[in-house]
Amino acid sequence: MTQVARVDRGFMTAGIGMAVVGAALFAIGLGGKDWIHSYFFGYMFWLVLTIGCLGLTLLHHTARGHWGFPVVRIFEAGGGPLAIALCGLGTIPIIMNLPALYPWADAALVAKDPILQTKSFYNNEGFWIARVALSFVILAVFAAVNQAWLKKEEQTGDDRWRQRRVNFSAIGLVFFVLIVNFLYTDLGMSQEKHWFSTIYGVWLLVMGALGALGLASAILGTQHNKSPYDKVVEPWLTKDLGNLMLAFTMLWAYFSFSQYLIIWSGNLPEFTKFFLKRSDGMWFWLANGLMITGFFIPFLLLLAPRTKRVPQIFGFVGGYILVIRAIDMFFVTVPTYRYQLSVYPADIGALLLVGGVWCAAFAFVLRTAPLVTYRTPELKEAADHA
Amino acid sequence: MSHGRDTAPKRYGVVASFRTPEELLAAANRTREAGYRKIDGFSPIPVEGLTDVLKFDESILGWITFGHGVLGACIGVGLQWWTSNFAYSHNVGGKPLSSWPMFFPVTYECTILLAAFGATFGMIALNGLPKPHQPIFNAEAMVRASQDRFVLLVEASDPNFDETKVKAFMQTLDPESVEAVWTSEGY
């Protein structure tokens, strides 16, 4: 008799533990004025992961590849309406501290900066809050519709719900990328006073997709001998997911590096600022380390067929890719306000505290439905031929 | 003129022909279970699952491609390092002579160029191409293997190969035809 995978229980325990430890660490930083920066880093990591999960859900419903069925529940729990609603609520501390994060919200700064003044028709508190709120509402609707329609198909066995999801998600994916681009621009990029990059939004989007795939792979890899995953974790599945992770790893490297290369060779003051901060002092070593740990190591690991065949190795590589995203996000967000590379306890605290809530919500949603959708004919076919 | 090589026809194997992909898949499965290892299938359409049964040896092509890729990267970096430091050292926008960010695009292109060469020519070499004579086409059954028949081959190089035994075994698989294949005179 095979054991039953209790992913929800594991994540609930981990979530509570993370929240308690995180709250204690985060409390250390609450006295200072930097806590909101720590919070923003922790929040962004989980927001990007959530949106990555939602993006892969939409991609799965559009493409209907076999690889999606065994993991779509994970993506639904990670990028479902509840997770997105929580991410929306998570903006409240940010909204309450806008001037500490966004130069355009700092009246004194705007008064002496003509560039910020010109942008103020777009970057002002009211419009910003409205845009961010609207983004979360639309994303939550996208997630809720797909989740409800998948459930309907499972209950009724009616194939038409599948086609409806395809029609909805294919168009939804286009709007998803647009909306998320605006959201990341508002939340992250507008923290830089004058700097802008057109690849910023998709850069973070790919980070999220990579994190979500890493999460799913880690779950599959560690639970591969427990029901129901023992029936679906086969070499073809880990190979497909591994190749997708490999593609996203290359895309991440391409976005990260092409952005740097264009700015570096252009050498214009308003653009180089972003990378000057990130190559100063110890940040330089973090940037270089990220090239090795974020690209070369996972790239070479995922090239090897063995990684994509042995579930344990596959799960380990997935977990590694997810963990690296935290360093990645630290590099993207924190240097904006910190001139020297230093990790505060509150940074770890915020990451764990937000993560604890996220994991608890993840576990809560995961419990409401079977881990794998069996009604979908593709999976049956895949399971038969495996 | 003699080349000192035996050019008389030699045993190549035994083929059986089937009407449906399912029959071929089932027959391949049973042939494998019977202990034959050097088996191959020929089909006008892709048969899902057949490659899993035939169990092709893991190819070293990946390593050949990887090796060529690494070689390409080294050539790309080396070329640029030499040209920008020695052959044509110019001050471009006040940047250092060895500006590695600028080296990436050419290094990358050299990597994939040589990796693609490695993959293409490596594949051709590993397949023993060009091969003007392929004995399998001496089989009657192969005439329709690219149209509407599914052919299974047990090669004579299989350690368990015995023509009469293989023929008798293949008759039990309910084939359309079974025949022995020989190489052509002169090869």
CATH number at residue B26: 3.30.70
Give the distance from residue B135's alpha carbon to the nearest chain A alpha carbon, in angstroms.
33
Interfacial B residues in 112-151 facing A (CB < 8 Å): none
CA distance B101 to chain A (A): 6
Domains in chain A: how many in total? 1
Find the residue in A nearest to B96 (Cα): A265
Q: What ipTM describes this predicted complex?
A: 0.74
Residue B40 has pLDDT above 90, yes or no: no
Q: Which of B66, B95, B101 sits opposite A260 (nearest CB)?
A: B101
Q: Name the DSSP class of A334.
A: G
Classify residue B162: in a domain, yes or no: yes
C-alpha–C-alpha distance, residues B43 and B18, integer Å: 10
Q: Alpha carbon of A139 to those of A47, A50, A53, A66, B112: distances in Å?
A: 12, 11, 12, 25, 39
Q: Does A340 contact chain B (CB < 8 Å)?
A: no
What pLDDT is attached to residue A386?
46
For residue B2, is it within any domain? no
Whether B114 maps to a domain, the answer reads: yes
Residues A199-218, mean pLDDT to the nearest whole number: 95
* Number of domains present in the structure of chain B: 2
Pair (B66, B54) in one structural domain: no
Indicate whether B54 and B66 sit together in one domain.
no
Residue A267 at interface with chain B, using a CB cutoff of 8 Å: yes
Residue B4 domain flag: no
Closest Cα in chain A to B47: A385
* Domain contains A255: yes
* pLDDT bracket for residue A127 (50, 70, 90): very high
Do B75 and B118 reside in the same domain of the chain?
A: yes
Percentage of residues in chain B with pLDDT exceeding 90? Answer: 26
Residues A153/A373, Cβ–Cβ less than 8 Å: no
Per-residue pLDDT band at A163 (split at 50, 70, 90): confident
**B15-43: average pLDDT:** 83
Does B164 share its domain with B110?
no
| Residue among A210, A243, A218 nearest A329 (CA) | A210
Q: Kindly report the average pLDDT of chain A as a whole number.
A: 89
- For the entire predicted model, the pTM comes to 0.85
Mean of pLDDT values over A184-200: 91
Task: Write down how long chain A is.
Answer: 386
Domain membership of residue B29 (yes or no) is: yes
pLDDT band with cut points at 50, 70 and 90 for residue B184: confident
> What mean pLDDT is predicted for residues A213-237?
87
Residue A231 has pLDDT above 70, yes or no: yes
**Assigned domain for A384 exists:** no
Query: Are both B18 and B53 inside the same structural domain?
Result: yes
A261 contact B CB<8A? yes
Considering the domain boundaries, does residue B66 fall inside one? yes
Q: What is the domain extent for residue A68?
A: 7-378
Q: What percent of chain A has pLDDT over 90?
A: 58
Share of chain A residues as helix, strand and coil, in percent rounded to the nearest 5: 80, 0, 20
A303 interfaces chain B, CB cutoff of 8 Å? yes
Distance from CA of A278 to the nearest CA of B (A): 15
Q: Chain A: residue nearest B103 by CA?
A: A261
Chain A CB contacts of B48 under 8 Å are 385
What is the residue range of B82's domain? Answer: 62-126
Query: Closest chain A residue to B49 measured between Cα atoms?
Result: A385
Place of tokens 């961010």: A132
- Residue B51 and residue B70 share a domain: no
pLDDT in tens, B50-64: 777 777 777 889 899
Condensed to tens digits (0 to 9), the pLDDT of residues A19-61 reads 999 988 888 877 777 889 999 999 999 999 999 999 999 999 9
